[in-house]
Structure 1
């Protein structure tokens, strides 16, 4: 008697649309309309229950491409998905629509927990305001803080992938006055490890650039001692410390796999000045699942005006598809 082959499991990717008063839902709807259904993949759309009333035009955009199946609970949706016969062509265009009353920060925690429990495979996040996170009663002020609470032993770093160059940030959203004290031996070792992982993810074998902390990269100890203490002898495959004000000259873009920057604005100012806020992807290095995100904010002033550019969300979804497919 022939052995029956088991059907391949559906790849399940969550998309949290972020702050309901921002452009997250708009850019997600526009991106999904462009991506169209992907065979063997189900998207789980986390959104606010009131949006169907307030942003009907974007549901029409989604419904022109997808068969939207609405649920009010992730658990119920997952039970339904487990019973799907994925070989039926009519099921290739399903979109799991989660209509929720809870705070958008709760969606992120719920989706990330499902990823940790292997019920979902990847997570794409829309822009979330720190005010909304605070309203949820949590101490964390952003996505990275939420993930760190869920994965307290993980060494997490923010990374940004652009068309022309990529950056990884050593420290989180911390006051400028605390940057140097945070860049201790443990943090630098964690950052080097994360940079190597990012290098592997983007498939590059070029050296990794490391920026100095101080002007002129410390000028051999004349302007601060950090570089002499931590960056004088870099691990193999790293080059630096680069002078920060010249690191992002165009001639360096293709010279290095990525730029390891020591604090938020050191990497994000050049990245966003060049790539803008309509392109590029933010993803988190160190999580046991793939998390990608838009690299722009909530843009409350554009809410429901149909002016938001979806390219960053489009890039975030596509990168998540690529990385979850490769088994990262």
Structure 2
């Protein structure tokens, strides 16, 4: 992925679940990259994370970031190299620091949602150039009374202009070799199959095409996976490809989109994998029908460099492709590589300089 020219506005990094590894990988990111940005979260939690990482050898003493509590987000402009500006948004529980590490806690869910809402508001007002989200925990979000199963749905709802319905969005998981966009996400497999409709498949292809143009691809090659084994084998193993997916692809092609398929899901990801010069990918991105179909191939290549991108939002949002890793929380051993890649991808998307592959 290419680097980009600095934006006049900062990136907003949301802290994620305070009981997980989000604060610690943010501390490591700041030590390694000293990014142009601010953390939306709890200054006390972030200060604890910096101490934890420092005590466990996560960074050298001279790299240790200094946490600065910001009175308002604009104060990031006065920060100097080595300082991490942390702004506590409205709705942050006052006793968040007491939430135990490595466990689901309602306070952490409340805080994570408050940070997201504040980041979206800043993005909508032009106060930040984009959002990079550290992992939150879906159970904590539910315990906090949030009606959204995850980041994507919360961002979609909060990103809608006042009085207008939320824009359709899609989840893309990517690394340097493979990009996958999902038709359905956080629902049961049975519900996912029911949600694979002509409209949903076509809309996913269209959103993918528009986003790929923004990355800098002039003629995006979009592979569309089938739902059934062998893409239905002509109707022998299911007819969704004949009734739904194939017609949606044809509609996209009539609109000038280079979409291909339905293709056998057990081989399409290998065909799309782009690892030159030995293995140039046949496709730029794969549209998958449901969560695990699309995410297992990307995650199998390794979690360290995967990035989650929400397509269709009116602002840039990326995140690492792993979760809160409660088993690592408080150890200082969590790997920040995926978060660093998420930051770099956000910079690329903001600048409009796509990686082209």
Common fold: TM-score over 0.5: yes
CA contact (8 A) 1:52 1:59 kept: no
CA contact (8 A) 2:173 2:306 kept: yes
Gaps of 5+ in 2: 1-5, 94-110, 275-280
Q: How far off its partner does 1:124 sit?
A: 0.4
CA contact (8 A) 1:105 1:132 kept: no
For 2:264, the equivalent position in structure 1 comes to: 243
Gaps of 5+ in 1: 1-7
Higher mean C-alpha displacement, 254-263 vs 224-233? 224-233
Q: 1:324–1:193: structure 2 CA closer, same or farther, 3 Å change rule?
A: same
Q: How far off its partner does 1:144 sit?
A: 1.1
For 1:98, the equivalent position in structure 2 comes to: 87
Number of matched pairs? 307
For 1:287, the equivalent position in structure 2 comes to: 313
Q: 1:79–1:31: structure 2 CA closer, same or farther, 3 Å change rule?
A: closer
CA contact (8 A) 1:22 1:298 kept: yes
Calculate the TM-score normalised by the size of structure 2: 0.78
Please say if 1:15 is aligned against 2:42: no
CA contact (8 A) 1:209 1:258 kept: yes
CA contact (8 A) 1:215 1:244 kept: yes
For 1:3, the equivalent position in structure 2 comes to: none
| Mapping for residues 24-63 of structure 1, pairs under 5 Å | 24-37=22-35, 41-47=36-42, 49-53=44-48, 56-58=51-53
Q: How far off its partner does 1:31 sit?
A: 1.7
How many angstroms apart in 2 are the aligned matches of 1:181 and 1:106? 32
Please say if 1:195 is aligned against 2:208: yes
How many angstroms apart in 2 are the aligned matches of 1:227 and 1:13? 41
| Mapping for residues 110-189 of structure 1, pairs under 5 Å | 110-150=118-158, 151=160, 152-189=165-202
How many angstroms apart in 1 are the aligned matches of 2:43 and 2:242? 51
Please say if 1:301 is aligned against 2:321: no
How many angstroms apart in 1 are the aligned matches of 2:52 and 2:200? 46
How many angstroms apart in 1 are the aligned matches of 2:62 and 2:340? 18
Higher mean C-alpha displacement, 161-170 vs 185-194? 185-194
Calculate the TM-score normalised by the size of structure 1: 0.84
| Mapping for residues 247-266 of structure 1, pairs under 5 Å | 247-249=268-270, 253=274, 254-266=281-293
Q: 1:9–1:322: structure 2 CA closer, same or farther, 3 Å change rule?
A: closer
